[in-house]
Amino acid sequence: MIKHFAEFYFSEKFFDREEIREVEIHDPIKIAKKAPTGCYRFQLFDRVGEGNRQNISGFYYVGGVELTLDQLKEEELPNGSDLIEKMVENGLEKAVRTFMGDYYPLSWNDEVLQKG
């Protein structure tokens, strides 16, 4: 039997904390609206029994702001040039500023969603 899961990410001082919860269906908009407090992103996946993850989604960022590469260049970022360099090297054109003020590059299958 296939089960659906969401892995929620929370920013801690020096690392991310993850929490996996079973969900009824892969509906990122509904999941974002009910995301646990402090969750800045989540990822969806399936499992058959106790097997490996399957159908792994991109990341869904909750309550962030999507920025183009040009907009990102205008931001005052700590270590901003590193982020921009890596994005250019990997052909990525967008990033997200999370509600906590952190920046992450957006891959082709990542998406920014609003919580409410």
Collapse the DSSP code of 102 into the 3-class scheme (helix H, G, I; strand E, B; otherwise coil) and give the result. coil
Cβ 34 vs Cβ 23: under 8 Å: no
Residues (pLDDT < 70) of the chain are 78-80, 116
Each residue of 6-21: pLDDT tens digit? 999 998 877 889 999 9
Q: How far apart are CA 95 and CA 109, in angstroms?
A: 12
**Model confidence pTM above 0.95:** no
Return the beta strands (E) in 1-116 as ranges. 2-11, 16-23, 39-48, 59-62, 65-68, 94-97, 103-106, 111-113
